[in-house]
Chains A and B, each alone.
Chain A
Amino acid sequence: MQSAPPAVPTVLAAAPLGSQVASTLFASLSRVIRGKPTELRLIIATLLSGGHILVEDVPGVGKTLLAKSLAASIGGTFRRVQGTPDLLPADLTGVAIYRRSTESWHFRPGPLFANVVIVDEINRATPRTQAALLEAMEERQVSVDGTTHPLPDPFFLIATQNPFEHAGTFPLVEGQLDRFSAIFEMGLPDRETERGLLMGDGGAGQLSGLQAVVSPENLARAIQEVRSLHCSEAVANYILDIVTATRHHPEISLGASPRASLGLLAVARGHATTVGQRFVTPDDVKAVAGSVLSHRIILSGGTNVTAARSIMDDVLRSVTVPRG
């Protein structure tokens, strides 16, 4: 029931910063990631809401490529971590080292101290390491030996995981999944796009050509701007209706939390920005609700993101949109 989103309006000079950032990033990412405009728009919306992303899919569909292109398009620092069972929290946060030369403890920051962080196969890390990571995502700071070190601004984390591998994995606990603003499945490209990849159109080959099109400062400013985007009472009620519906749906044992509704509004604001609006419409809420909520509800039949998506579609069909 999803209609095609309206084409991205050409951003005029007078357009708000957020929309400029969005369209610039969209153009840049599209050079590498082909045939996925809707997903790209959602990813940029999440980015503009200041949220983190979990990409879930089988290997080889471009999860890492997406994360890398995003990092490349944003100027600023970029780090990548591979989730393994022997990865320790300190490997991420960094450690305090005693320097003989200065006879003092010196903090050596870990890979988390970057504007864009990729954590590949997050479910291979131990729950303890996952917990440390998720704390950092939520608090945007790490504490090492009693000292608090703020993470850079903007701080944007993309985690990937393969849901179909179980051996040697530690599935993320639902409460921790809640820290991710949105979850995406890349999905397979269509035949046309895949032929393009074979013929050198898009894909990893284009990655090296990507420029940093957005400065971290501008991105941080855009995030601030999006945070205060106008949202009418009707749309806020619509969000509440959707969240309430997840709490009463017969096939959902645990509905979305208040954090989820805040996240839904934030990403909807991001989405409104990507389509060049200065206000949130029910369309924005509808467009992002599946990605923002499906990993935050617990089904009666156990967790399964695909099933959760179809139930979210069902929820959206059952909720009346505000007139207008």
Chain B
Amino acid sequence: MKLTETIRQANLATDPERFTAVRVAVGITVIVSVLALIAQGFVRTAPALVAIIGIPAGFLLSYRMRHTDALKLKAVLAIALIISVIGFFGELVSSFQDGLVDIQVPLAELFLWVQVIHSLHVPARRDLMFSLASSAAMMAITAALSISSSLGIFIALWAVGVMVSLMLAYRSSIADLPPLGDPVASITPGATKAAARSVAILGLTSILVFLALPSARASRSFTFPAELPSSTALGSPGSLSNPSLGSRANRNQSDTSNGVAGSGYFGFAEQLDTSARGRPDDTLVMRVRASAPAFWRGQTFDVWDGVTWTVSDNASTTIGGQAPIQVPLTIGDLPQPADDFIQTFYIEQPGPNLVFGAYRMSEVYFDARFLFQQPDGALRAGSDLGRGAVYTVISQRPYVTESLLKVSDPLRTDLPISMDPFLQLPDGIPQRVLDLAQEITADSPTTYDKIQALEDWMAQNTTYSLDIPPLPDGADSVDEYLFETRQGFCEQIGTSLVVMLRSLGVPSRLAVGFIPGERNSLTGLYEVRASDAHSWAEVYFPGVGWQGFDPTAQVPLAGEFEPPATAGSAVVAWIRDNASLVGRTLGITLALVLVIGFGGMLTMVIGRIVTERRRKANRSWVERITETLEYAGSTHDRPRQDHETIREYVAALAAGPLPDPRLREVGEIIAREAFGLITDHEGRATGERLLEEITGRSPN
């Protein structure tokens, strides 16, 4: 079969859908899929509104026009499709020129447009089934984009809609089944069993596929999501702001008066006061799409005075100017051959303007030209990060193992002078703290072993508690925790580890950020709550860089890592270096293909309009009146079948939807004019008059 013939066959008009229930069920299912997409917030308001109003209206219009050829409408729809595709690529190209490509929104909107446009012309069962199939594609796209579990409700609703639509379609195509609503005969036991079997097989397959699917894995596409819905520039570039800590007065210092600051964590400030009590609540602050759990690191502190951590050097550097923003190495960082570890952060609650990410960030996709880098490598945005902000961080996680850490021992190498700040201890540090560190680590051969020993000791001899007494005046936080209360949370534990390691000569500092959070198995995203805010120790290993250690949180330490892939990484690297070129080439090719395709469609439709007009102009009287009669019949859901003679057809109409005995007379007149020898003008006039009286339509 030739291609053109196939296309022609596929475009042949089929009988309009007669079963309104199928139409309604499909319509509802499509609307559910559209609502699912809109609810995920990937569509702008205007297209969303157009879709919500347009699709039901389109279905209604299709229902009204189901008997017409609607050629003109088809032409309009083809043009609309071309326009929407061109618009899609226009948006893509313009965002390429901005150096930032977020393909999700335009793609979702394109899909929405296609649904709306298609819904305007669904006369037949075939078209409705296409709508249903494309709603499945829509759900797939939505699921791929979604970051919240609310999608589950939509998926359930949509699945019900699909099942109802398919069942109705099946029932209506089997004429000899009893009508719906006959409870006894409507579903036979065999059918129930068969349905149960299908559902079971489907469920089992879905579960198996779901289990076998690789978990959400951010792959190297051309670009990554980055978005700032609202950006209020901060007063001074590079300054730290944390609206979640409450009033402006308290922004740069921890709030010790009431202890709790909702979703705010006092560590995301210019200093960290270990005498502060109270922890953030369980507010969801962000979601992270990543292939593995890691510490989402915010910033570090290096100066300790016994109670408070501060930063020795607060001079920030502006980085960026190109997308993605390249993050330079800072003190202690070492270039490591490592796989890209990609994390996309979706901010849910206004928080600090810190850019979080696993150590060591190498590139950031951010919806701003510049970021500010602190000497310790911490990144700050130039504006507040409110709800809806999205950015993507690519980290190079050092590929370390236990044995590697044992070998590269900071105690057995000459440390550079730049490491001195990370050995600093306050003057009044109690001797018993130093002695304890010596005592615990006496039998440990390497720094790595010493760290393990310190962690084990704290695990055995102290209690993790969020509810600890306030710090007495003049007391040293570490001393109080190790000897007096033996109770503490991550600030006390992390600080103690840093202080003891420093006393042993191991360069270390305190990092603050978040633990990975719980992975939502439906969306595949880590859900980070305010209470996941955390601090831990970072230790410098020569030849490796900074390595996080933490006695409390169960985070797999960096090092559980597959070896870097060899195959394909060259291609990936090339594509990455030439992303815009590749993207543009692909985009233009795709655009051309689509425009040519839709253009072909349009040409075909216009051709058909022309031939149809020509045919209509050259119609005989018999053709005109017959078409009028057939149209009237099909609007009464009794289209004429190919094998029906005009007399049989009028008899069927008169026996059913158009019970008018004069119809037979019209049929006789048409037969006489069609097959007889003589033209009877008077008879023709009578026929036209009768037909108009019966159907309300005059032959046009």
A residues with a Cβ closer than 8 A to B are 1, 3-4, 6, 230, 232, 234-235, 277-283, 286, 316-324
In contact, B676 and A282 (Cβ under 8 angstroms): no
In contact, A234 and B677 (Cβ under 8 angstroms): no
From B673, which residue of chain A is reached at the shortest CB distance?
A324
Q: Please, how many angstroms separate the alpha-carbon atoms of A234 and B626 in the complex? A: 15
In contact, A320 and B651 (Cβ under 8 angstroms): no
In contact, B676 and A230 (Cβ under 8 angstroms): yes
- In the complex, B642 has a CB within 8 A of chain A: yes
Choose from B642, B648, B668 the contact partner of A3 (Cβ within 8 Å): B648
A3-B652, A320-B642, A324-B622 in contact; A283/B647 too (CB < 8 A)? Answer: yes
Contacts of A321 in B (CB 8 A): 642-645
- In the complex, B467 has a CB within 8 A of chain A: no
In contact, B647 and A278 (Cβ under 8 angstroms): no
Q: Mark B640-677, 1 if CB is under 8 A from A, else 0.
A: 00111111100110000000000010001011111111
Contacts of B98 in A (CB 8 A): none
Q: Please, how many angstroms separate the alpha-carbon atoms of A155 and B496 in the complex? A: 127
Q: How far is the CB of B670 from chain A (nearest CB, A)?
A: 6
Contacts of B623 in A (CB 8 A): 323-324
Q: How far is the CB of B631 from chain A (nearest CB, A)?
A: 13
In contact, A234 and B645 (Cβ under 8 angstroms): no
In the complex, besides A278-B677, A322-B675, 6 extra interface pairs with C-beta distance below 8 angstroms are: A1-B648, A232-B676, A282-B645, A317-B643, A319-B642, A321-B643
Query: What would 17 A/B residue contacts be, using CB atoms closer than 8 Å?
Result: A1-B648, A6-B664, A277-B676, A279-B676, A281-B645, A282-B645, A283-B671, A317-B643, A319-B642, A321-B642, A321-B643, A321-B645, A322-B674, A324-B670, A324-B671, A324-B673, A324-B675
Give residues 382-428 of B contacting A (CB, 8 Å): none
Choose from B622, B648, B676 the contact partner of A323 (Cβ within 8 Å): B622
In contact, A232 and B675 (Cβ under 8 angstroms): yes
Q: How far is the CB of B249 from chain A (nearest CB, A)?
A: 87
Per DSSP, chain B at the interface is helix
Contacts of B646 in A (CB 8 A): 324
Interface size class of B (residues with CB under 8 A): 20 to 34
Q: Please, how many angstroms separate the alpha-carbon atoms of A221 and B284 in the complex? A: 101
In contact, B643 and A320 (Cβ under 8 angstroms): yes
**Most chain-B CB neighbours within 10 Å: which of A1, A4, A316, A318?**
A1
- 5 tightest A-B contacts by CB? A324-B674, A320-B642, A279-B676, A3-B651, A282-B645
Q: Please, how many angstroms separate the alpha-carbon atoms of A319 and B652 in the complex? A: 19
From B642, which residue of chain A is reached at the shortest CB distance?
A320
Q: Please, how many angstroms separate the alpha-carbon atoms of A234 and B673 in the complex? A: 12
Contacts of A316 in B (CB 8 A): 643
Q: Please, how many angstroms separate the alpha-carbon atoms of A232 and B671 in the complex? A: 11
Q: Please, how many angstroms separate the alpha-carbon atoms of A317 and B648 in the complex? A: 13
Q: How far is the CB of B620 from chain A (nearest CB, A)?
A: 9
Q: Please, how many angstroms separate the alpha-carbon atoms of A288 and B623 in the complex? A: 26
From A231, which residue of chain B is reached at the shortest CB distance?
B675
Contacts of A279 in B (CB 8 A): 672, 675-677
Q: Please, how many angstroms separate the alpha-carbon atoms of A4 and B672 in the complex? A: 19
Q: How far is the CB of B662 from chain A (nearest CB, A)?
A: 14
Contacts of B626 in A (CB 8 A): 323-324
In contact, B642 and A280 (Cβ under 8 angstroms): no
Q: Please, how many angstroms separate the alpha-carbon atoms of A282 and B644 in the complex? A: 9
Q: How far is the CB of B666 from chain A (nearest CB, A)?
A: 12
Contacts of B647 in A (CB 8 A): 3, 6, 281, 283
Q: Please, how many angstroms separate the alpha-carbon atoms of A318 and B641 in the complex? A: 10
Q: How far is the CB of A10 from chain B (nearest CB, A)?
A: 15
Q: Please, how many angstroms separate the alpha-carbon atoms of A4 and B664 in the complex? A: 12
In contact, B674 and A323 (Cβ under 8 angstroms): yes
